[in-house]
Amino acid sequence: MGLFDWLKRRRPAPAPLSVPAEPPAPIAEPEFEGQWRAGADIDSLWSIDPEGNRRATVIDALGAIAIETSDYGPDGRGAWWLFYGLDEDIAFTVPLGARGEGAMVKRIAELPGFRHHAYAAAVRSPEVDTFVVWQRPFD
């Protein structure tokens, strides 16, 4: 018998935990932008929205490409690619941050007259604005 045995007898033993272990955390849904897919072929640009709808246009049918930014900040949230046809109507849109965007940007940057400075300003913009990054030359 030790000196502090009396203290151990006065303190009840801890009860076993009856709470079941926590279930694993659910897998996080991808960000909105990550639910979109974008890409480029030799002669066309395309996007697939979260519902699986595919939109595409051939590069020869493009009149302009712009990036519309929001005031969410320069992290790309709320910013959209706008692809205009020769009729000046929007052919399709893609949010910045879509999966496959890098291949699309690489193809767009190869177009003659691509405005790298406008692209750089758009991806850093914390304000609501529209940046034309490419426009078909007037004949």
Q: SS in 3 state form for the chain? A: CCCCHHHHHHCCCCCCCCCCCCCCCCCCCCCHHHHCEEEECCCEEEEECCCCCEEEEEHHHEEEEEEEECCCCCCCCCCEEEEEECCCCEEEEEECCCECHHHHHHHHHCCCCCCHHHHHHHHHCCCCEEEEEEECCCC
Structure tokens at 18: 């009856």
Question: Average pLDDT, stretch 73-85?
Answer: 79
The share of the chain scoring above pLDDT 90, in percent, equals 58
Task: Say how far apart CA 84 and CA 104 lie, in whole Å.
Answer: 15
Phi, psi dihedrals of residue 99, rounded to the nearest 5°: -65, 135
In the structure encoding, which two tokens stand for residue 45, read together? 């640009």
Residue 76 has pLDDT above 70, yes or no: no
State the pLDDT at residue 11: 64
Q: How many angstroms separate the CA atoms of 13 and 87, rounded?
A: 80
Between 18-27, 52-61, 92-101, the lowest mean confidence (pLDDT) is in 18-27
